[in-house]
């Protein structure tokens, strides 16, 4: 158990809908990262928040957004969902940035039908 908690574990929704994935980082971790893993792509970095501030963006679509709240939990919002958004979404956390070890949650399986 990495200490990173993600909910929900599984989610099935229809095209055009909006979902929110939630992440609680390890106790004391200020950095939260979001990754997407689909069948045909590897693990793709989406976005990084540190202590409530956005620090880096990767291959995140404009239909997706994220935020980190004062209690350090984070949410990834996915809107206007398409079939191609079906994927595993991982949240990860680390104490800070730089070379602090990053720990991953078990992921949220999103299926868009």
Partner 1 sequence: DAKTTQPTSMDCAEGRAANLPCNHSTISGNEYVYWYRQIHSQGPQYIIHGLKNNETNEMASLIITEDRKSSTLILPHATLRDTAVYYCIVRAYSGGGADGLTFGKGTHLIIQP
Q: Give CA–CA dist 79/85, Å, rounded.
A: 10
Q: Which is nearer to partner 1, 28 or 42 (CB)?
A: 42
Greatest Cα pair distance, the chain, in angstroms, is 39
Q: Which is nearer to partner 1, 5 or 79 (CB)?
A: 5
Of positions 21, 30, 66, 102, contacts partner 1 by CB under 8 A: 102
Q: Give CA–CA dist 35/66, Å, rounded.
A: 12
Q: Give CA–CA dist 26/59, Å, rounded.
A: 24
Residue 97 binds partner 1, judged by CB under 8 A = yes
Site size toward partner 1 (CB under 8 A) is 26
Q: Give CA–CA dist 90/59, Å, rounded.
A: 14
Cβ distance 14 to 67 under 8 Å? Answer: no
Q: Binders of partner 1 among 20-59, rule CB under 8 A?
A: 33, 35, 42-43, 45, 48, 50, 55-56, 58
φ, ψ dihedrals at 84, nearest 5°: -70, -10
Shortest spacing between CB 49 and partner 1, in angstroms: 10
Q: Which is nearer to partner 1, 47 or 78 (CB)?
A: 47
Q: Which parts of this chain interact with partner 1 (CB under 8 A)?
A: 2, 4, 33, 35, 42-43, 45, 48, 50, 55-56, 58, 88, 90, 92, 94, 97-99, 101-107
């Amino acid at each position: 158990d990495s200490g990173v908690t993600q909910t929900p574990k599984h989610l099935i929704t229809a095209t055009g809908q909006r979902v929110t994935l939630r992440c609680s980082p390890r106790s004391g971790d200020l950095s939260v990262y979001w990754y997407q893993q689909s069948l045909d792509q590897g693990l793709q970095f989406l976005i990084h928040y540190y202590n409530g501030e956005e620090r880096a963006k990767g291959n995140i679509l404009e239909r997706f957004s994220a935020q980190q709240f004062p209690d350090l939990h984070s949410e990834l919002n996915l809107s206007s969902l398409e079939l191609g958004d079906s994927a595993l979404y991982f949240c990860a956390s680390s104490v800070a940035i730089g070379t602090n070890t990053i720990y991953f949650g078990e992921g949220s399986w999103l299926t868009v039908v």
